[in-house]
Amino acid sequence: MTERLRTERRPGVVGPAVLAAVASLLAMWPYTGVIMPGPWTFVVVAVIVAVAVSGMAGRMLFARLREGIRSLLTLLVQLIALALTLTNLLAGETAEFGAVPTSASIELTGLRLQRAVDEISNGVAPIDPTVSMTTAMGLAFTLVALLVDHLIAQRLVVLTVLFTSVVGAVPMLLTFGSVNLVWFVLQAIMILVVLRFGARHDRDATRHSPFVAAGLIGAAAIVATVLVAPALPLTEPRGGAGQAMTVSADLRLGDDLRRPNETEALTVVTSASAPPYLRMATLSRFDGEIWRPDRSDRNPVEEGFGTRPWSDPIDTVEQEVSIRVVGISSSRLPVPYAAEEISGLPEGWQAMPLNRTVISPTRDAAGADYTVQTATPAPSLEQIRATSAGGAELVAAPAEGLPDIIGDLAREVTADADTDYDRLLALQDWFRAEFTYSLDAPVEDGFDGTGADAVATFLEVRSGYCIHFAGAFALMAQSLDMPVRIVVGYLPGTSTDQTRGDDRVYSVTSDKLHSWPEVYFRGIGWVPFEPTATLGTPTDFVSEAGSGEGDDPDSPTASPSPTAAPSSSSTSGPDRSDEDAGAGGGGALPRLDPTPVILVTVGILLVLLLPGLGRALLRMRRVSRARHGDAMAAWREVADTMADLRLPLQASETARTRAQSLATAHGVDAESLGILVDAVERRSYSGRETAERDLSAPLRPVIAQLEASVSGRRRLVAWLLPASLIRRR
């Protein structure tokens, strides 16, 4: 009979393979929110199916072999099937017969993986479904599907639950958006199914009822998930400093950068008449689709930023700016241009002298409080007109094959200008006068994309938001042979009622995230411009004879120091309507700050630990009843402890027979067992409880000795997967 029951409980090959495939697909689902739909989803599904089918075939083929050898041979079959599948889907052009990998296939895969790493590190969610990303996801879920398949086959259900939960939660824990409540609910159901599978097919497990207790556990898990997830800060957006925003250095024309909620990102303290623009990264590498961050030498921020790029005849404005980061999570610090010294930072921050930005591979900007000493060039109008834009070695070569409209319009708009500065000023004024700021037009007209074609459409439609203005200005300046780059950072903040000594405190909110172009002038350095209509203040320089239109009829009103911001002496720009809110540039998206990450993790652990917690509460209740003489509660606890520990448990045996077996086979104290057996027999035959005796005293050592008689692994499984909760009474 026992052998027959064990045979019934041994799983086949189809059920575990299907269960593993479904668990892997569920773990994949959250990644569709951070990678745009594309070929990668087909490749991942194909990989999961290949793992399941080849796994079933291998286990059927080697069914008569020992389990360890069968598992190794099945793994070999799966690896061969996966190699053929992946090669055919990802590198068929380099393969023999379209499926057999060659050295060229391996080399191509390695190159694509390197590019995928670059796309992930520099990317903004949702990441484009490139061939490189497809390759990376296919290989990643090859490992996931293989591991889940073998964990399920070995009935290591606890590890399966932990692994799939972590894999599925990664996009929410590390990046990019709100908590996926639906995934949490489905994962809770999957956890129940996997635990149920493990309980049914454990070789030493007792028989289980199919639905009643399992349904109670599942309902509890789902209810707990539903209660935990809405409490997480990103489920419902809220203001305040607790909602950190992550700022990516990558600029993607057309990413959804709209911000529905305005939260404080940082505070700025300065004695200047107006707060500066704050830069976090510069982008000078354009590949036709995306502007990518500069790569340059770094040194510890304590060593400063090196020499000034402007010459002695150029006046310099020196200022001190204190910044406290409130709601930004980023590997980059917001700093004004041009930073020379920074104090108040811990070790780990690095200065990039080429673009005067600060970055760290290990630190996060959240909570940073530091002071920046700046020195900004302030050339006169005559000085900047006397020099030219140049220094092509500072930036990457312009992209080739750009739409003709970009260069044609650049030459048309600047035809009447005589100097490089006047050409750039003409471009800036043309954008601000002829274009309108809109968050809707790029979507409605279909150019909310990431490449040069989107810029071409923007130049025709003449309506968009900051990254369209900055990107179009940069490409048009490049077509005029000027070295240009795009800055990702923040518009100047808004004055508050607070002061620090004689300095005023400004608040910079999340909707101030912005992008603007800079052009390099020999002997002066990088000069910013503000082409975005209605935002910021346009760049103009003051004539040596004085400021004002009357000083130079060819020059509009000038401001003294455009490099502290596009116009440091101006206010932060015109008031922005509700439509302007969320006009950030540079690819910023909501990100889980440490508190929500902890809460998400706690939520997952709570779902995983619910069965064990429920079992612990039931034991406490029975021990309490045993303390008052309830013999049946005490004996049921002994039986359920045996079920949890996967000890042989026969429903037909008497209490005395079971006690003798436990004392003989597992070394349980016979005297304690005798007290419990006497109480059970008295209750069974006379119908009276032994209220005068505390049965918890003998019950506790019996439970402890039962647990000590098995291995630590079995005790852990008993706590995480208590079979007694779904045991037939």
Pair (582, 622) in one structural domain: no
- Taking the CA atoms of residue 443, residue 289, residue 295 and residue 38 in that order, the dihedral angle to the nearest 10 degrees is 80
Nearest to 197 by CA among 7, 4, 15, 8: 15
Q: Give the per-residue pLDDT at 293.
A: 80
d(CA 169, CA 176): 11
Nearest partner of 168 among 146, 150, 183, judged by Cα? 183
Show Cβ contacts of residue 226 under 8 Å, excluding neighbours closer than 6 positions. 181, 184, 185
pLDDT tier at 580 (50, 70, 90 boundaries)?
very low
Q: Is the pLDDT of residue 593 over 50?
A: no
CA nearest to 541, candidates 519, 522, 556: 556
- Judged by phi (left if over 0) then psi (alpha if -120 to 50, else beta), residue 261 lies in beta
The per-residue pLDDT for 600 is 55
> What pLDDT score was predicted for residue 427?
92
Domain end (from 535, 557, 591): 591
Domain range enclosing 691: 611-726
459-to-233, 404, 444, 445, 679 alpha-carbon distances in Å:
40, 11, 15, 12, 90
Taking residues 450-456, what's their average pLDDT? 77
Residue 211 lies in a domain: no
| pLDDT number for residue 450 | 57
Residue 724 has pLDDT above 70, yes or no: yes
Q: 3-state SS of the chain: helix, strand, coil percent to 5?
A: 50, 15, 35
Residue 134 scores a pLDDT above 70: yes
User: Domain check: are 255 and 128 in the same one?
Assistant: no
Same domain, 637 and 543: no
Q: Same domain, yes or no, for 150 and 284?
A: no
Secondary structure of 111-157 as H, E, C letters: HHHHHHHHHHHHCCCCECCCHHHHHHHHHHHHHHHHHHHHHHHCCCH
Amino acid 559: pLDDT: 40
pLDDT of residue 529: 93
pLDDT at 528: 92
Mark whether 620 and 673 lie in a shared domain.
yes
Q: Using DSSP, how many helices (H) and how many strands (E) does the chain show?
A: 21, 20
Q: How far is CA 307 from the centre of its chain?
A: 38
pLDDT at 124: 56
Q: What is the pLDDT of residue 248?
A: 56
User: Is 183 part of a structural domain of the chain?
Assistant: no
Q: Phi first, then psi: give them for residue 102, nearest 5 degrees.
A: -125, 180
Residue 114 tokens, joined? 């390197």
Instruction: Report pLDDT for 122.
Output: 58
Structure tokens at 435: 């274009």
Contact 234, 596 (CB under 8 A): yes
Query: Which of 566 and 375 is assigned the larger pLDDT?
Result: 375
User: Considering only CA atoms, which of 44, 48, 27 is closest in space to residue 169?
Assistant: 27
Q: What is the pLDDT of residues 485-535, one digit of tens each?
A: 888 888 888 888 888 877 888 988 877 888 889 999 888 888 999 998 888
Is residue 218, in this structure, part of any structural domain at all? no
The pLDDT value recorded for residue 599 is 55
Residue 235 is assigned to a structural domain of this protein:
no
Same domain, 424 and 504: yes
207 has pLDDT over 50: no
**Mean pLDDT, residues 369-376 taken together:** 89
Q: pLDDT value at position 504? A: 85
Long-range CB pairs of 36-40, under 8 A, 24+ apart, other chains included: 36/126, 36/127, 36/128, 36/129, 37/129, 38/128, 38/129, 38/133, 38/134, 39/129, 39/131, 39/134, 40/129, 40/133, 40/134, 40/137, 40/138
Which comes out higher in pLDDT, residue 367 or 576? 367
Q: Is 293 within 8 Å of 122 (Cβ atoms)? A: yes
3 state DSSP class of 617: helix
Q: What is the pLDDT of residue 567?
A: 43
Average the pLDDT over 403-430 and give the result: 90
- 452, exposed or middle or buried, with CB in 10 Å at 0-12, 13-18, 19+? buried
Residues 18 and 137 in one domain: yes
**Given a cut of 50, is residue 215 above it in pLDDT?**
no
Q: How confident is the model at residue 425 (pLDDT cuts 50, 70, 90)?
A: very high
C-alpha–C-alpha distance, residues 135 and 142, integer Å: 11
Q: What pLDDT score was predicted for residue 561? A: 41
Q: What share of the chain in percent tops pLDDT 90?
A: 4
Q: Residue with structure tokens 């590498």?
A: 285
Q: Is the pLDDT of residue 331 over 90?
A: no
Residue at a domain's end among 154, 180, 208: 154
Query: Mean pLDDT, to the nearest integer, of 370-383?
Result: 88
Do 507 and 618 fall within a single domain? no
- Asked if 585 and 656 sit in the same domain, the reply is no
Q: For residue 238, tell me if it sits in a domain.
A: no
DSSP 589: E
Q: Write the pLDDT tens digit of every residue in 26-42.
A: 888 888 777 777 788 88
Q: Are strands 332-333 and 357-359 parallel, antiparallel or unpaired?
A: antiparallel
Contacts of 176 (CB under 8 A, 6+ apart): 33, 34, 125, 126, 589, 590, 591
Mean pLDDT of the 628-646 span: 87
Q: What is the mean pLDDT of residues 312-329?
A: 83
Token code pair at residue 141: 């879920």
Contact 590, 204 (CB under 8 A): no
For residue 560, pLDDT over 50 is answered with no
Q: 539 and 684 share a domain?
A: no
| Residue pair 476/427 in contact by the 8 Å Cβ criterion | yes
**What's the residue count for the chain?**
729
Residue 85 lies in a domain: yes
Say if residue 242's pLDDT is above 60. no
Tell me, what's the pLDDT at 254? 39
- Residue 602 within any structural domain of the chain: no
pLDDT of residue 279 exceeding 80, the answer is yes
- Confidence at 690, pLDDT banded by 50, 70, 90: low
What is the structure's pLDDT at 428? 93
- What's the CA gap between 727 and 278, in Å, rounded? 64
Q: Final residue of a domain: which of 560, 591, 622? A: 591
From residue 337, give the alpha-carbon distance in Å to each of 208, 246, 279, 432, 483: 69, 21, 7, 23, 18
What are the tokens at 5? 């029951």
Q: How much is the average pLDDT of 93-103?
A: 79
The predicted-structure confidence for 59-95, as pLDDT tens digits, reads as follows: 888 888 887 788 888 889 889 888 888 888 887 777 7
Which pTM was predicted?
A: 0.50
**Of 60-64, 564-568, 603-607, 651-655, minimum mean pLDDT range:** 564-568
Question: Is the domain of 537 the same as that of 622?
Answer: no
Region 396-421: mean pLDDT is 84
Predicted confidence (pLDDT) per residue in 220-237, tens digit: 444 444 444 444 433 333
pLDDT category of residue 249 using cuts at 50, 70 and 90:
low
The pLDDT value recorded for residue 424 is: 92
Q: Cα-flanking dihedrals φ and ψ of residue 260, to 5°? A: -75, -15
How are strands ordered across the β-sheet holding 299-300?
Answer: 299-300, 350-352, 357-359, 332-333
Same domain, 535 and 622: no
Q: Specify the higher pLDDT residue, 718 or 603.
A: 718
Residue 545's pLDDT band, with cuts at 50, 70 and 90, is low
Counted domains in the chain: 3
Taking only Cα atoms into account, the Rg of the chain, rounded to an integer number of angstroms, comes to 34
In a domain, 444, yes or no: yes
Q: Is the pLDDT of residue 120 over 80?
A: no
Residue 479 has pLDDT above 50, yes or no: yes
Q: How many CA atoms lie within 13 A of 199 on its CB side?
A: 28
